[in-house]
Structures are given as structure tokens and as C-alpha cells.
């Protein structure tokens, strides 16, 4: 059991609440979301397996180091790096914009968004420049502190008196509807934490054992069904799709009578603040390191700050122009594009790795 | 050199963040906290609603903590009313502690008020775990009640609903999120407890049942209790029965009920309820010998069967479904038109109730 690998996947599973996965799935609950999820599980899992198997054949090396040794074509390398970079960067960006929106909505509506964003950006920019190992350590600490408590909230949700199992089963009876591509793309996101292995393979010094994959498989299933069915249990099979953020409204529907704060929503958001921060940071760290890897020969200070300010600029523009509904629509298509890119990259890379090391 | 560059960058960021205009955070002493929201139908006015906000008045001394004021405004919509109420008070109105929503009885009986119910869920600052109740005679009357035992404004209602204080089978509390879900879930209709204002206390013992847009039926206390049995909400309850001339009460410790919908081909569909009750005799008008408890159990079973069935039929007659039979039917059928099917089945469905009672003992004395 390699815990670093596990953390990467776990972060993505936790963060799908912010990145509209439940919203997209619940929207298609009568139009093939259930079947879509059942199809997405093998797809996502296979991709995760193939890629992690392939990249862990180069223990302790990220993609830039591998490229230095083996990649011949310069332009192909740039294309390869560029597409991954774009994918992970945009994943972080969507999470960031989505979460800034959540924070302004629920925590402090009077605070300007850009101020909130700048606080986040300062922390993110600080973290992504750290060496990969240290980013991993921060991730470990954050997950270590937050995951048990989020697990507790999920447990409370499952055992609540107000969860309607009949509503959940009602959505379950739409199992045989024709699956929708959007639902498949959204559902497969829970497994795609492995994408950060492009850089974070540096900290994984051994080959992954079968156990890792078994655990990830079951956790993925549990996570996906929790994500999808708990909001339906609380807000009804017909009503759940009315909520903009189904999971945040669900956390507001829980009551912890004897906790310091009765409303779970604030505890939930508090945990997610740090988890979101780390999720964005590992995505952007991967993107940043890949960028550095592309121009390894000519690395310098100026370049670094140009890239970082470009990242911040993108975030500022995105926060300024992306309204929640627009962001939601963009995310739907982004999910599909992401799945496409993932399939191409994973298959080509794993074939290449197999031939290289045969 | 390197560290100098780093420091200058850090300094620029810090100074830059100072330039961003300050946040609009208001201190707690500049806020007024709403503890309950009440809505009535407006009387003698061209406006539609009469909105009341019960505001907790913070006080410095511990001697008089239970101070509140009620600010009212008549308007055609909730948001209008709240905007105008803001002009009547000196501080910012904060809804984040509004834990009770009272709907006047007359308003609840009227059609077409979904706008209000949705306004509550749409606002980000109103908790979804606020309780929703129907207020009788009006929301204002209930808001004005100040029980002697109450320490914080509206707290006695919170305690009654939250089951932290009193536990009774006559209250079926409902949260805002559940109310909203029931408003649109096909096959599950809303039900809200009715809070009646008496002089210095509340009486919460009846339940109002809604169809998808207005209140249709009121259950009396005994019927409320029966509904409680069927929904498995509160275990501590009491039932009474009669055998010959003996009238006796049972204090229940455990009530479990489950149901199943049967749709046999060629025969009328029916719903079978299984209720298991376990309890002790708490009061009796004549002596009950321990050796003959089994016979008394039978009597209770008969009584409960009849009573529960009557309640179920009464609910069915008015065409509403607070227990969620329709949803259960939908969830067990894979076809697309299960809801249309159910609408044809429900009016003519038959109820069969099977109760099993176990009297463990007769209390401390025989």
C-alpha cells in the first residue's frame, strides 16, 4: 500500500463535490446517470491502472526526467507536456473559481471576490514553488486532519432520519436508461487523481502493488455513490436537481445537536477550504513543474515569475468573468474533453512505456 | 541577492493586497438576529402577505436575557417585506439564526404560495435545518407568546421541535429542506406540526397535511400519534384500550412499523402494515392479573388495528400521501409510467394492518 498514491486519488475523490460532479450527475438522474456511473467506473479505473502501472516503471522519476532520458522528438514532447499541463491547470482553475463562488455565497457575501481570490492565490503560489516532496507532505497533513471528520459527516448523513431511501431507490430504478456521455465523463473524474502522477511519481519510489488498486476501486465506487445518492436522499429524486451545489445544501441539511456549531455547513466548508487549497496546489504544481521541464535548459527566475503571474492572471480573469451557471456549463464540456485527452494520453503513454522497457 | 528579490516580491504582494478595498464585514453589535420568521395573510389591506420577523434583542445584563421585538410589514412578496423591514431597524438584519418558520393557518390553506416556500430555500443565509410549522390562529400570535420557562427568545419552540427538550409522540417536526423536498417529490406530501398559541404557552399536538400546494387536512392528536407510529419517529408513546370494563394505558418502549405494497394480478391492490409494539401497563381502571396479560394484548392489537386503519383511510380519502406510499411504489417499479399507474391505484387501495403487542409487565405493582 503506497500512501502517496492513495492521497492523490483521495484528493480528487473529495474535491468532486466542488467541481460540479454531483450537480452534473443529478441533472441526468432520469437520463442515464446511473448507467453512466456504472460504465464510468471501469473506464476510470482502467485508465488509472494503466497509467500508474506505466509511470511507476520509472520509479522516483517524474515525466520531465523520463522525457530527458528517452524522448527524442522535441515537438512531440512539447505537445505531450502541453496537453497534460492544460488539463491539470484547468482542473485547478475550475476548482478555484467554483470554490471562490461557494465561499462568497456562504461564508462572507460582503467580501469582494478578488480579495478572497488573492488570499488563495498567495497561498497557492507559495505552495506550488516548493519541491514536490514537500507539497506531498503538506497534502498528507491536510488530509490527515480533514478526512476523518468529513468521513464523520458522511456517516451522519447516511444515518440521518431524514434521508429517504425510497427516493434513492427510485433513482436506482432508472438504471436501464441509455447512459449519457456527460454523466460518464463527470463520473470518471473521481478516478482521475492519478493524472498528478506525472510529477508526483518523483516521491513514489517503488512499484505499486495490487492492493492499491483494489482499495481505490472500492473507494471509487463508494465515493461515487455517496456523491450521487446522498443529496437525492435528502432533497428527493425530483427536487435534488434544483440545488446549485447539491452537496453543500446537503451539508446544510444535517444537524449536529451537540457539536459546537449546530450547522454542519460551516464545519464542512471549513474542511473543504484546506482540501480545495491542496487540490488546486497539486494540480498547479504538476502544471508548473511540467512547464519547467519543457524548458529545462533555459530555466531562469524571470521565466518562473512570468508563468506564475500568468497563472494568477488566468485565475483573476476567470473569477471576474465566469458566473456560476456559465462555469457549470463549461465544466460539463470540460469533463468530456478531459476524458478524451486522458484516454489518448494514457493509452499512448502506456504503449510507449511497455515498448521502451520490454 | 536572491533573498532580496524574494523579499521584494513578498513585499509587493502584501502591499498590493492592502490596496484591495476593505471587506464589508459587519461586527456583531451592528447586526440584529432574526430568530423566527412568521408569515400571515394580510388583513384589511391590498397587500397579500403580512411578514413578521422576531428579532432577539441583545442585552448586556444577565437579568433579562429573554428580550425580543417583532417587526412586521405587509407586502406582496417576502423579499419586498424584508427590504422594507430593513428600513425600520437600525442594524443589519441577519437571518443566519432563524431556526423557526411559522406559516399562518389561513395562509397555509391558500393556494399559490410556493413563492414563499421557495424564497426560504433560495436564500443562502436561511438554514435548511430551520423547522417549519403551521401557526394557529396566526403566526403573529404564536410569535408573541413568551413562556415563563423560556430563557432565549423562541427557544422553547426550538426545544419542542428538536426533541432536545420534551419528547412526545404528538409532534412530527419537519425541517425546511424536507418540507421543500416533499413539496415537489411525487408520491410524498408535506406534513407540518400545528403550533397553537395559548396564553403563556404553546400547544403542539395536531398535524396539518398538505397536498402539493396547500393545507388540506388536520389530524387530531390521536391521529397524529397514529401517524407517528407509522412513521417510526418517536418510540415513547402511549396507547389505550378497553377490555370489558377495564380501561388501561400502555406506555410504549418500542414501536416498529413497516409496510409493503402488494399488487396481485386480478385482485384489488393492498398495503399491509406490520406494527410491533412493546410496552408496560402504566395505568388501569381495574386490576390486571399478570397471568392473563396475553388476553389484554389481543385487545390492544384489535384496538390499534382499527384505529390505525381509520387514520390511513381518512388520509387516503383526501388524496394525500404523507407516508410516501407513492414514492415506495415508484421506487419498486422499473417502468417509466409508474407514477401514472400509482395515481390510478391509490384511491382504491385497501389497507391491512397487523399489530403485534407485547406487554412486558404491569409496572412496579401487579
- Nearest by CB to residue A167, choosing from B127, B183, B185, is B185
Nearest CA among A257, A162, A153, A163 for reference residue B158: A257
Query: What is the rounded distance in angstroms from the CA atom of residue A92 to the CA atom of residue A124?
Result: 11
Cβ-based neighbour number of residue B84 at 10 Å: 14
Is it the case that residue B318 has pLDDT exceeding 60?
Answer: yes
Does residue A257 sit at the B interface (CB-CB below 8 Å)? yes
| Yes or no, beta carbons of A170 and B177 under 8 Å apart | no
Residue A108: the pLDDT is 79
| Yes or no, beta carbons of B331 and A173 under 8 Å apart | yes
Contact list, B328 vs chain A (CB under 8 Å): 166
Identify the bridge partners of residue B258 per DSSP, sorted by sequence position.
B274
| Yes or no, beta carbons of A164 and B327 under 8 Å apart | yes
Q: Please report, for residues A109, A267, B116, B118, the alpha-carbon distance to residue B122 in angstroms, rounded to integers and kept in the order given.
A: 15, 21, 10, 6
Quick one: CA torsion of A152, A282, A319, B97, rounded to 10 degrees?
20
Query: What is the rounded distance in angstroms from the CA atom of residue B179 to the CA atom of residue A323?
Result: 29
Confidence of residue B27 (pLDDT cuts 50, 70, 90): confident
Structural contact between residues B51 and B72, judged by C-beta atoms closer than 8 angstroms: yes
Is it the case that residue B57 has pLDDT exceeding 80?
Answer: yes
Among A261-275, B186-200, B276-290, whose mean pLDDT is lowest? Answer: B276-290
Residue B17: the pLDDT is 62
pLDDT digits (tens, 9 = 90+) for A74-125: 888 888 888 999 999 999 999 999 999 999 888 878 778 888 899 899 999 9
Contact list, A239 vs chain B (CB under 8 Å): 180-181, 183-185
Contact list, A269 vs chain B (CB under 8 Å): none
pLDDT digits (tens, 9 = 90+) for A221-234: 999 999 999 999 99
Q: How far is B184 from chain A, CA to nearest CA, in Å?
A: 6
- Total beta-carbon pairs less than 8 A apart between chain A and chain B: 107
- For residue A332, give every residue at least 6 positions away whose Cβ sits within 8 Å of its Cβ, in sequence order, or none: A20, A24, A182, A185, A186
pLDDT digits (tens, 9 = 90+) for A119-153: 899 999 999 999 999 999 999 999 999 999 999 99
Contact list, A263 vs chain B (CB under 8 Å): 127, 129
- Nearest by CB to residue B20, choosing from A118, A164, A173, is A118
Confidence of residue B28 (pLDDT cuts 50, 70, 90): confident
Contact list, A175 vs chain B (CB under 8 Å): 334
pLDDT digits (tens, 9 = 90+) for A13-70: 999 888 889 999 999 988 889 999 999 999 999 999 999 888 888 888 888 888 888 8
Structural contact between residues A98 and A206, judged by C-beta atoms closer than 8 angstroms: no
Query: What is the rounded distance in angstroms from the CA atom of residue B15 to the CA atom of residue A221?
Result: 47
- Nearest by CB to residue B23, choosing from A111, A254, A262, is A111
- Nearest by CB to residue A115, choosing from B9, B20, B164, is B20
ipTM value > 0.85: yes
Is it the case that residue B201 has pLDDT exceeding 60?
Answer: yes
Q: Please return the burial class of A86, using the count of CB atoms within 10 Å of its CB with bins 0-12, 13-18 and 19+.
A: middle
Amino acid at each position: 500500500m503506497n500512501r502517496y498514491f492513495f492521497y492523490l486519488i483521495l484528493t480528487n475523490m473529495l474535491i468532486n463535490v466542488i467541481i460540479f460532479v454531483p450537480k452534473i450527475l443529478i441533472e441526468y438522474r432520469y437520463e442515464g446517470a446511473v448507467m453512466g456511473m456504472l460504465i464510468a467506473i471501469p473506464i476510470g479505473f482502467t485508465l488509472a491502472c494503466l497509467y500508474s502501472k506505466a509511470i511507476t516503471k520509472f520509479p522516483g522519476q517524474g515525466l520531465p526526467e523520463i522525457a530527458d532520458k528517452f524522448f527524442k522528438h522535441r515537438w512531440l514532447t512539447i505537445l505531450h507536456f502541453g496537453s497534460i499541463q492544460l488539463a491539470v491547470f484547468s482542473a485547478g482553475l475550475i476548482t478555484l473559481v467554483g470554490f471562490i463562488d461557494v465561499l462568497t455565497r456562504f461564508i462572507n457575501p460582503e467580501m469582494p471576490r478578488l480579495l478572497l481570490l488573492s488570499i488563495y492565490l498567495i497561498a497557492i503560489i507559495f505552495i506550488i514553488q516548493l519541491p514536490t516532496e514537500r507539497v506531498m507532505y503538506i497534502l498528507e497533513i491536510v488530509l490527515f486532519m480533514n478526512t476523518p471528520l468529513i468521513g464523520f459527516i458522511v456517516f451522519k448523513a447516511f444515518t440521518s432520519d431524514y434521508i429517504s431511501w425510497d427516493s434513492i431507490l427510485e433513482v436506482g430504478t432508472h438504471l436501464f436508461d441509455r447512459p449519457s456521455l456527460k454523466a460518464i465523463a463527470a463520473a470518471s473524474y473521481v478516478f482521475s487523481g492519478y493524472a498528478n502522477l506525472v510529477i508526483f511519481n518523483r516521491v513514489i519510489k517503488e512499484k505499486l502493488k495490487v492492493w492499491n488498486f483494489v482499495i481505490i476501486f472500492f473507494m471509487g465506487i463508494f465515493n461515487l455513490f455517496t456523491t450521487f445518492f446522498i443529496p437525492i436522499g435528502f432533497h428527493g429524486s425530483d427536487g435534488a436537481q434544483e440545488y446549485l451545489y447539491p452537496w453543500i445544501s446537503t451539508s446544510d441539511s444535517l444537524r449536529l445537536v451537540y457539536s459546537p456549531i449546530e450547522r454542519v455547513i460551516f464545519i464542512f466548508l471549513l474542511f473543504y477550504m484546506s482540501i480545495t487549497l491542496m487540490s488546486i496546489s497539486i494540480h498547479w504544481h504538476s502544471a508548473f513543474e511540467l512547464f519547467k521541464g519543457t524548458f529545462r535548459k533555459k530555466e531562469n527566475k524571470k521565466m518562473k515569475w512570468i508563468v506564475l503571474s500568468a497563472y494568477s492572471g488566468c485565475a483573476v480573469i476567470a473569477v471576474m468573468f465566469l458566473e456560476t451557471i456559465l462555469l457549470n456549463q463549461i465544466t460539463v464540456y470540460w469533463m468530456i474533453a478531459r476524458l478524451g485527452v486522458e484516454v489518448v494520453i494514457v493509452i499512448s503513454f502506456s504503449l510507449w512505456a511497455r515498448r521502451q522497457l520490454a | 541577492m536572491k533573498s532580496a528579490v524574494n523579499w521584494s516580491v513578498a513585499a509587493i504582494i502584501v502591499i498590493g493586497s492592502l490596496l484591495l478595498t476593505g471587506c464589508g464585514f459587519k461586527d456583531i453589535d451592528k447586526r440584529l438576529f432574526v430568530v423566527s420568521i412568521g408569515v400571515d395573510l394580510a388583513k384589511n389591506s391590498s397587500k397579500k402577505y403580512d411578514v413578521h420577523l422576531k428579532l432577539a434583542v441583545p442585552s448586556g445584563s444577565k437579568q433579562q436575557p429573554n428580550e425580543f421585538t417583532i417587526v412586521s410589514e405587509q407586502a406582496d412578496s417576502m423579499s419586498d417585506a424584508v427590504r422594507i423591514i430593513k428600513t425600520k431597524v437600525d442594524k443589519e438584519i441577519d437571518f443566519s439564526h432563524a431556526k423557526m418558520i411559522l406559516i399562518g393557518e389561513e395562509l397555509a390553506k391558500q393556494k399559490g404560495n410556493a413563492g414563499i416556500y421557495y424564497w426560504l430555500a433560495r436564500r443562502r443565509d436561511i438554514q435548511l435545518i430551520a423547522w417549519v410549522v403551521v401557526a394557529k390562529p396566526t403566526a403573529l400570535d404564536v410569535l408573541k407568546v413568551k413562556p415563563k420557562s423560556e430563557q432565549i427568545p423562541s427557544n422553547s419552540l426550538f426545544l419542542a421541535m428538536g426533541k432536545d427538550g420534551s419528547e412526545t409522540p404528538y409532534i412530527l417536526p419537519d425541517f425546511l429542506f424536507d418540507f421543500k423536498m416533499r413539496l415537489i417529490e411525487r408520491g410524498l406530501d408535506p406534513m407540518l406540526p400545528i403550533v397553537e398559541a395559548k396564553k403563556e404557552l404553546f400547544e403542539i399536538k395536531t398535524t396539518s397535511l398538505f397536498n402539493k400546494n396547500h393545507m388540506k387536512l388536520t389530524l387530531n392528536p390521536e391521529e397524529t400519534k397514529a401517524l407517528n407510529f407509522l412513521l417510526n419517529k418517536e418510540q415513547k408513546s402511549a396507547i389505550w384500550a378497553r377490555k370489558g370494563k377495564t380501561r388501561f394505558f400502555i406506555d410504549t418502549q418500542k414501536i416498529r412499523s413497516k409496510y409493503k405494497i402488494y399488487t396481485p394480478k386480478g385482485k384489488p391492490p393492498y398495503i399491509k402494515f406490520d406494527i410491533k409494539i412493546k410496552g408496560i401497563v402504566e395505568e388501569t381502571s381495574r386490576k390486571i392479573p399478570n397471568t392473563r396479560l396475553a388476553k389484554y394484548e389481543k385487545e390492544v392489537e384489535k384496538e390499534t388495528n382499527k384505529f390505525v386503519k381509520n387514520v390511513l383511510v381518512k388520509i387516503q380519502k383526501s388524496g394525500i400521501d404523507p407516508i410516501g406510499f407513492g414514492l415506495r411504489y415508484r421506487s419498486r417499479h422499473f417502468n417509466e409510467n409508474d407514477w401514472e399507474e400509482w395515481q390510478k391505484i391509490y384511491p382504491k387501495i385497501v389497507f391491512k394492518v397487523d399489530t403485534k403487542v407485547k406487554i412486558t409487565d404491569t409496572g412496579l405493582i401487579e
